[in-house]
């Protein structure tokens, strides 16, 4: 077993002075679900959007980044699922879990915690990296932008944004990220309209001015361009 899971459990206990009783998976990718076996075996209630359970129940692949995972044993599967939203309570805090449709995957959960004014957004936002758009799991660039628009509409300048990777961010950081995605998307739409192939789109470097800030993560600029191109060509519309 990965010792990082026990270290995480111990750290949570020290901070909260109580054991973990409920766990929310923001989506199915292993870096967000690999603790399920440990926590599920300990009787923790695992909660997720319904598509997460479906995907963890079988072998899944993300071709662009070579990720492959599953299937998970029964004790590691979510035991409580929802379709569009659900509400939890933890002491004085209310947790609203929302799925805005396919974005990073088809099973993303955004968690709004009030009155703490925190939004946990999973891999819809990585600070500051280009995102994985998991087309094999129903993800799309249009869906990511739609979810970001919805998150921005529900938050304010004081909201703490917890990304899937990277440091805690502000709403202004999230807005900058959303605007970057919109600009890159439009440039690739224009390249598709001009009849460019996916390799020609990569060669045109539509992300060039953003690479210094966003291109040093786990998704390099050429791979991100291919994901967006493929999403718009095979998994979405270029008319947005």
**pLDDT tens track for 175-217:** 999 999 999 999 999 999 999 999 999 999 999 999 999 999 9
pLDDT band at residue 36 using 50, 70 and 90 as cut-offs: very high
* Residue 86: per-residue pLDDT: 98
Contact 107, 55 (CB under 8 A): yes
Which pLDDT band, with edges at 50, 70 and 90, does 64 fall under? low
- Read off the pTM: 0.92
Residue 66 has pLDDT above 70, yes or no: no
Q: What is the pLDDT of residue 12?
A: 83
DSSP secondary structure code for residue 71 in this structure: P
User: What is the distance, to the nearest Å, from the Cα of residue 178 to the centroid of all Cα atoms in its chain?
Assistant: 14
Full DSSP string of 110-165 = EEEEETTTEEEEEEEEETTSPPP--GGGT--HHHHHHHHHHHHHH--TTPEEEEEE
Between the two ends of the chain, the Cα-to-Cα distance in Å is 45
- Domains of the chain, each with CATH number or no CATH: 3-234 (3.60.15.10)
What is the model's pLDDT at position 59? 79
Q: Across residues 224-237, what is the average pLDDT?
A: 85
Find the length of the chain.
240
The whole-angstrom distance between residue 119's C-alpha and the CA centroid of its chain comes to 13
Residue 85: which H helix or E strand, with range?
A: strand 85-90
Residue 87 C-alpha from the chain's centroid: 20
Q: What pLDDT, on the 0 to 100 scale, is given for residue 181? A: 98
Whether 52 shows a pLDDT value over 80: the answer reads: yes
Please report the pLDDT score of residue 206 as a whole number: 98
What would the pLDDT profile of 149-168 be if each residue is shown by its tens digit? 999 999 999 999 999 999 99
Percent of the chain with pLDDT over 70: 93
Give the mean model confidence (pLDDT) for residues 10-26. Answer: 90
List, as one string, the DSSP characters of 153-219: HH--TTPEEEEEESS-B-HHHHHHHHHHHHHHHHHHHHHHHTT--HHHHHHT-TTGGGHHHHTTSSS
Given a cut of 80, whether residue 240 has pLDDT beyond it is: no
In the predicted model, what is the mean pLDDT of the chain?
A: 92
**CA-CA-CA-CA torsion sign (213, 217, 222, 224):** negative
pLDDT of residue 236: 46
- Residue 70 has what pLDDT? 67
Region 67-75 average pLDDT: 80
Whether the Cβ atoms of residue 228 and residue 182 lie closer than 8 Å to each other: no
Banded model confidence at residue 18, pLDDT cuts 50, 70, 90: confident
Q: Which carries the bigger pLDDT value, residue 62 or residue 10?
A: 10
Q: How confident is the model at residue 235 (pLDDT cuts 50, 70, 90)?
A: low
């Amino acid at each position: 077993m990965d010792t990082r899971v026990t270290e995480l459990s111990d750290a949570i206990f020290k901070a909260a002075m109580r054991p973990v009783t409920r766990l929310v998976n923001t989506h199915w990718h292993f870096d967000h679900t690999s603790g399920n076996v440990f926590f599920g075996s300990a009787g923790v209630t695992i909660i997720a959007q319904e598509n997460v359970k479906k995907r963890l129940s079988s072998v899944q692949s993300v071709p662009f980044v070579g990720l492959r995972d599953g299937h998970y044993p029964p004790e590691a599967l979510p035991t409580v699922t929802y379709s569009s939203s659900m509400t939890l309570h933890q002491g004085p805090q209310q947790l609203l879990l929302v799925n805005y449709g396919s974005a990073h995957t088809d099973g993303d959960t955004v968690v709004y915690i009030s009155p703490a004014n925190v939004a946990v957004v999973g891999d819809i936002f990585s600070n500051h990296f280009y995102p994985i758009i998991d087309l094999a799991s129903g993800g799309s660039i249009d869906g990511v932008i739609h979810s970001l628009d919805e998150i921005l509409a529900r938050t304010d300048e004081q909201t703490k944004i917890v990304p899937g990777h990277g440091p805690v961010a502000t709403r202004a950081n999230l807005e900058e990220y959303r605007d970057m995605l919109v600009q890159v998307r439009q440039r690739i739409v224009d390249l598709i309209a001009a009849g460019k192939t996916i390799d020609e789109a990569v060669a045109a470097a539509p992300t060039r001015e953003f690479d210094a800030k966003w291109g040093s993560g786990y998704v390099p600029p050429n791979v991100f361009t291919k994901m967006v191109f493929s999403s718009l060509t095979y998994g979405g519309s270029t008319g947005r």
